[in-house]
Amino acid sequence: MSPRKPSTKDLTKEMIVNEAHKQFITKDFQQISMRSIAKELGCSHGAIYYHFKNKAEIFYAILSDYFFELNNTLDENMNGPEDHDTKLLNVFVGFMAFGLNNQSQYELMFIMRDSEIDGLSQEAANLSYEKFAQSVRFLSTTELLISDIHSTFIALHGFVAHYRHYVKNYEEAKEAVDVHAKFLMKALTFRE
């Protein structure tokens, strides 16, 4: 006897997002369809449309969770008991650790591009970047230009992009992460 397909009432947004997440990590956005998600869930694709109007909306729900987690990491580092310099160093390390510990998610958040979802993902990325920029501006002991903060973000992003797929997680690159974070601290302190 085959397992019963979940009805529209039994199927939850969480079930759909979890299955879609698995697929987005292993396949390109264009290779995934509402039907492929439904097939793996053992339901009709119409049941998925009851919860989400399209694949992009599902993808955005996934991205929202990732950006929430990254933003939470920034908040945790901002609100620690340490002095401003240590907090800023922790923001840099926290960003890189997040990227290296969540490599597939990081790619979906900051690297993958597709015209169908760029508007949605770009909006979330911009809000997260703004939170990062405000954190760096607030914690810096020197007055920073917008270009200083942007260059710092690009340096952090470049680090994660470079090390992804070469290390499994933050622990494997911890020493390099620490060196890079300290380098960025010096760069912000000694800028002209």
pLDDT in tens, 15-60: 999 998 888 878 877 888 899 999 999 998 889 999 999 888 888 8
114-154 pLDDT per residue, tens: 666 556 667 778 889 999 999 999 999 889 999 999 999 99
The separation between the first and the last C-alpha atoms of the chain, rounded to the nearest angstrom, is 73
Q: What is the mean pLDDT of residues 75-87?
A: 89
| pLDDT tens sequence across 2-17 | 454 555 558 899 999 9
Q: Which segments of the chain are extended strands (E)?
A: none
Task: Check if the beta carbon of residue 184 is closer than 8 Å to that of residue 91.
Answer: no
C-alpha–C-alpha distance, residues 25 and 23, integer Å: 5
Environment class of 151 (CB within 10 Å of its CB; exposed 0-12, middle 13-18, buried 19+): middle
| pLDDT for residue 192 | 52
Neighbours of 188 (CB within 10 A): 20
CB 186 within 8 A of CB 86: no
Contact indicator for 87, 51 with CB cutoff of 8 Å: no
Residue in the block written with tokens 């369809």:
33
At 116 the pLDDT is: 60
The confidence score (pLDDT) of residue 88 equals 95
| Per-residue pLDDT, 113 | 66
Which pLDDT score, from 0 to 100, does residue 90 have? 95
Burial of 115 (0-12, 13-18, 19+ CB in 10 A): exposed
Domains of the chain: 13-53 (1.10.10), 59-189 (1.10.357.10)
d(CA 122, CA 128): 10
Question: Which residues does 41 contact at the CB level (< 8 Å), separation at least 6?
Answer: 6, 11, 15, 16, 19, 48
Confidence at residue 124, expressed as pLDDT on a 0 to 100 scale: 79
Give the Å distances, CA to CA, from 78 to 16, 127, 181, 184. Answer: 34, 17, 16, 17
Q: Which amino acid, residue 81?
A: P
Burial per residue of 62-94, b for 16 or more beta-carbon CB atoms within 10 angstroms, e otherwise: bbeebbeebbebbeebbeeeeeeeebbbbbbbb
| Weakest-pLDDT range from 38-47, 81-90, 104-113, 129-138 | 104-113
Tell me what the pLDDT averaged over the chain comes to.
87
The confidence score (pLDDT) of residue 126 equals: 86
Q: What band does 166 get if pLDDT is binned at 50, 70 and 90?
A: very high
